[in-house]
Structure 1
Amino acid sequence: MSDPRPVLVVTSLHDPTADVVISGLHDRDVPVVRLDSGDFPASLSVEAEITQHGIRGRLLTASRMADLANIRALYYRRPTGFAFPHLSEQAARFAVTQARYGLGGVLASLPGCLYVNHPHRIGDAEFKPAGLAGAVEAGFLVPPTLITSSPDAARAFIKRNGSVIYKPLYNPVYRVDGVSSVVKVAEVSAADIDDGVAGTAHLFQKRIPKTADVRVTVIGAYVFCVRIDSDLLDWRTNYDQLTYTPVEPPPGIEAALYRYMDRFGLVFGAFDFCVAEDGQWWFLECNPSGQWYWLEPETGLPMCAALADLLERKS
């Protein structure tokens, strides 16, 4: 008899990766309830009671209902943020915090639910300093890195390490002349550092001369490694220049991946490495909500099936 419990998919309306996963779950006759927490409270409502048996109640969308006590798994992707444009600034700020800690707290407390990933664990893992320190603990090679607001410290770090890259610690989208933009990874010299560095925190990292990059996608018990060849400093800047090759990880990498995942309580992770001239893999980052599906048609790797297995709780 098939398991009637649904998979809850929390994401925005326009999420092609979630669309593919949901289609795969439907092919397996796994029920799915999709919602965007950012729709609360206009077209999403919550009724949750804390009982001696845990949280009981339901989530209601315009077309679906989810029993909070019977969620098989929650796939937390990329929901939009809470917004209350009809309220004053102060009232909206209050309403957003109540929605975050109310609905968000309910979604984070579902009994017996497998989280891919738990939203709190995603939040923990998105802090780059914590991710880099966790990578060292896991046994990865990590480039020397400085986080600072001191121009003098930045200049000294660059002079000490030679070729250095600047990376944003987090990359929110902002607009330039009405066009969505992000701060790009770039090589910097000591002469590039001015007093503007004192305005906030910055991340500087020694540049490792590389022959290629590798994206490693860990989905439960499955590890998919794809070598990415290009002549780009940051391969994300031009996908048209990339070529992809499935590869096996060097000895020790897979064990370190799972030590890292355990450290942050993750069951999914999109890891980025650069391959040095001597063939060693250097850890750059792990995105707990990273994109992955574009690699499947490029390589034939069964990544969607692996994620469906995980959410179905077959693996």
Structure 2
Amino acid sequence: MDDGVILVLTCLEDSSADMVIGHLIAQGAQVARFDPGIEFPSRAIVSSVFGAGPPRGRLVTATRQVDLERVRAVYYRRPTPYPTPPASQAATFVSREAKFGLGGILATLPCRYVSHPWTLLAAEHKPLQLSAAQRAGFAVPATLMTNDVEEARAFAAEHGQLVYKPLRGGSYTGADGEPCTIWTSPVQLGDLDDGIGHTIHQFQARVDKTADLRVTVAGGQVFCVRLDSRLLDWRADYEGITYTVIAPPAGLPDKCFAFLAELGLPFGAFDFALTEDGPVFLECNPNGQWGWIEDETGLPIARAIADLLLEDPT
């Protein structure tokens, strides 16, 4: 196959990207892997020309050179963030220029993205997700985002059992200095105090679920897995999960497609609480992990992503 290069932007150790790359190479695709946050500028050269005909440029790494106008698709997976500079104006300037220069070049290639980094950034916002989920026809739990303790108490009085969910995942260090994760946690009325005023908090009415669903959508392909766990948040103990591949509930694929179309995403990893009345939307990770699902179930998710990258954009 000599009809362009698929550029994979991810960290150097990404087993899920390795799976996709394996399928791409097996189908004869040319693949270039690049981690801008690590390889640039010490191990890579990037040049791009604008305003003198069609944009053109090159990316040179330790292993290959890529003409940027020949990039047919970009798999934006998990690149290392650009380094946080030390406290000096020069270092801050260098890091910012790399982010907005190199990052801008890679984000403006005229090709398919799975998925575009600027689209991913927008789709990470939970208020946007909840609004889009309602428009797509999903059942959505009653949700309050507030920094007002009285508002939170009134919400708890109205809805009974609540859960707290951070609005975005990220690194967090506990009081002992050890890294930790804030899981979805139950909240009682007595837990709501003036600490809520420190920032905005997300509270949801607790869903009476029988299990969870992880629904992975890549292009037109939908992979639905039931997750049975004893925990409120199954992510806290992957060893305790039982995985069952099931057919998606009636109407769910079309709602997923509508949600992704509104947000401009070709891929999404959806989480639903499964209740006696059907699935309830919890969130969609626009660049979510899926490799462990394929490992546990054998579902061909990597192949579906590779097929999406190889599709003729016309």
TM-score by length of 2: 0.94
Aligned-partner Cα distance in 1 for 2:150–2:44: 50
Partner of 1:72: 72
Following superposition of structure 1 onto structure 2, how do residues 184-199 of structure 1 map, counting pairs within 5 Å?
Answer: 184-199=183-198
Please state how far the C-alpha of 1:105 moved relative to its aligned partner.
Answer: 0.9
Partner of 1:220: 219
Partner of 2:128: 130
Please state how far the C-alpha of 1:297 moved relative to its aligned partner.
Answer: 2.8
Aligned-partner Cα distance in 2 for 1:291–1:55: 33
Aligned-partner Cα distance in 1 for 2:285–2:305: 16
Please state how far the C-alpha of 1:180 moved relative to its aligned partner.
Answer: 2.4
Aligned-partner Cα distance in 2 for 1:272–1:96: 35
SS at match of 1:54: coil
The partner residue of 2:309 within 305, 308, 311 is 311
Q: Which amino acid aligns with 1:3?
A: D
Aligned-partner Cα distance in 1 for 2:84–2:139: 45
Q: Does 1:236 align with 2:240?
A: no
Following superposition of structure 1 onto structure 2, how do residues 167-186 of structure 1 map, counting pairs within 5 Å?
Answer: 167-176=165-174, 177-186=176-185
Aligned-partner Cα distance in 2 for 1:24–1:166: 40
Aligned-partner Cα distance in 1 for 2:219–2:7: 17
* 8 Å CA contact 1:12, 1:80 repeated in 2: yes
Moved beyond 4 Å, runs of 4+: none
Partner of 1:261: 260
SS at match of 1:294: helix
Which runs of 5 or more structure 1 residues have no equivalent in the other structure?
A: none
Identity among equivalent positions (%) equals: 48
- More off after superposition, 299-308 vs 266-275: 299-308
Which runs of 5 or more structure 2 residues have no equivalent in the other structure?
A: none
Question: Kindly tell me: are residues 210 and 53 of structure 1, through their superposed partners in 2, closer, same or farther at Cα, counting changes over 3 Å?
Answer: farther
* 8 Å CA contact 1:55, 1:109 repeated in 2: no
Q: Does 1:57 align with 2:89?
A: no
1:129-177 deviations in Å (ceiling 9; x for gaps): 1111111111111000011111111111111111110000012112334
1:112-138 deviations in Å (ceiling 9; x for gaps): x11000001100100111111111111
Partner of 2:141: 143
* 8 Å CA contact 2:225, 2:244 repeated in 1: yes
Q: How many residues are matched? A: 311
TM-score by length of 1: 0.94
SS at match of 1:310: helix
1:172-217 deviations in Å (ceiling 9; x for gaps): 1123345321212100012101111111111001111000100000
